[in-house]
Amino acid sequence: MIIGEGVRLRSPERTDIPKFVEWLNDPDVRTGLLLYLPLSLDAEQKWFDNMLTMPAEEQPLVIEIQDQDEWKMIGNIGLHKIDQRCRSAEVGIFIGEKSLWNQGYGTKAMQLILKHGFETLNLNRIMLDVFADNLGAIRAYEKCGFVHEGRKREAAYKNGIYVDILIMGILRSEWKIEDV
């Protein structure tokens, strides 16, 4: 496990699948993601089986927070598109428990995966795409040290309008260990 203060990242288990389906069918969660269609339990089970065949370092991790004596799962985070030669990767995150948004957990989980990416996987660059209207996500990424690298104009279509997609990235040389 990747353990931080009050937040940890662990491998997903098959028993987590119903919770993933519940979260990813919530329109408020989905609006920040590339998903736009309802998701079935069967489809998520297939995704899980396929996920197990992916390179271990690209398999997503479950975000858990300490809730008194127990750990409670609240979302997922993961690195993907790891480029071994350029030492770069993309990162994706969602917190499915929306009652827990804006309490710093997204920032903490992202800080943990950045530490894992830079210090364990020896990456040099981690980037992400974010919808320009996802202000909470952008703020969380800025707090982690991501910088704005570009804007793909009207690159996505959701809720009846085109929205821009921002490109944000962080280099190992910009990353501050004391943030974790």
Residues, the chain: 180
Query: Hey, what amino acid is at 32?
Result: G
Residue ranges of the alpha helices (H) in the chain? 17-24, 27-30, 41-51, 105-115, 135-144
Residue 169 binding ligand COA, by CB under 6 A: no
Instruction: Output the smallest distance, CB 85 to ligand COA, in A.
Output: 26
Among 11, 40, 102, 120, binds ligand COA (CB under 6 A): 102
- Exposed, middle or buried: residue 88 (CB in 10 Å: 0-12, 13-18, 19+)? middle
Among 54, 135, 147, 177, binds ligand COA (CB under 6 A): 135
**Which residue stretch of 42-50, 95-103, 150-158, 172-180 sits at the interface with ligand COA (rule: CB under 6 A)?**
95-103
H or E segment to which residue 97 belongs:
none
Provide the binding-site residues for ligand COA, judged by CB under 6 A. Answer: 29, 32-33, 75, 93-95, 101-107, 128, 130, 134-137, 139-140
